[in-house]
């Protein structure tokens, strides 16, 4: 079961984030999933929040690629260290585009039940983007 649970999260990285297939979210995230680390602008609906966040990230980083670097699964939990790469071509969380390549690293912890994600906790180092951009003008 551990490999099947890892595959669920891998679909989010590959099919949703990297390829932009938002319909996959409805296949791999439970309708009542709980996100303990919701994205900016969260509505409390984990499925819709993931779709909205993916749209925002893909607009800012059109060549977006997200890949798992390390995956560990035990029981119903999957822990994945991931790496996101792309070129900053659009505004992201108020940060104007830099045209520069970026790398963001993070960790997701999910509970998988019945082949879908039911809970999520996450951390990433997005703050590095803001630090690299320097202080805001003015």
pLDDT score at 126: 84
Is the pTM for the entire model greater than 0.75?
A: yes
pLDDT score at 103: 92
Domains contained in the chain, CATH given: 2-133 (3.10.450.50)
Would you state the structure tokens that stand for residue 66, as one six-digit string? 């997200």
pLDDT score at 128: 74
Distance CA 73, CA 31 (A): 22
What is the C-alpha R_g of the chain? 15
Looking at the predicted structure, is the pLDDT value of residue 33 above 60? Answer: yes
Q: Which of 125, 37, 2 is nearest to 10 (CA)?
A: 2
Q: What 3-state DSSP class applies to 98?
A: coil
Distance CA 9, CA 83 (A): 14
The answer to whether 89 and 64 are in contact (CB under 8 A) is no
Average pLDDT along the chain: 93
Give the phi and the psi of residue 111 in degrees, each rounded to 5: -100, 130
Looking at the predicted structure, is the pLDDT value of residue 116 above 60? Answer: yes
Strand order of the β-sheet with 101-113 is 29-35, 116-124, 101-113, 77-87, 65-74
Give the single-character DSSP code of 36: S
Q: Which residue has the tokens 């970026």?
A: 102
Sign of CA dihedral 133, 95, 92, 121: positive
For residue range 9-22, list pLDDT tens digits in order.
999 999 999 999 99
């Amino acid at each position: 079961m551990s490999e099947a649970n890892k595959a669920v999260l891998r679909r989010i990285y590959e099919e949703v984030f990297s390829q932009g297939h938002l319909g996959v979210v409805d296949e791999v995230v439970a309708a009542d999933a709980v996100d303990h680390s919701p994205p900016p602008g969260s509505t409390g609906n984990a499925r819709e929040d993931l779709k909205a966040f993916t749209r925002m990230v893909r607009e800012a980083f059109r060549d977006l690629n997200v890949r798992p670097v390390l995956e560990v699964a035990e029981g119903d939990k999957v822990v994945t260290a991931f790496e996101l790469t792309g070129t900053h071509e659009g505004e992201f969380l108020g940060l104007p585009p830099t045209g520069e390549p970026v790398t963001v690293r993070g960790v997701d912890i999910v509970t998988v039940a019945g082949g879908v994600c039911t809970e999520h906790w996450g951390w990433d180092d997005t703050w590095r983007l803001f630090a690299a951009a320097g202080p805001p003008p003015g």
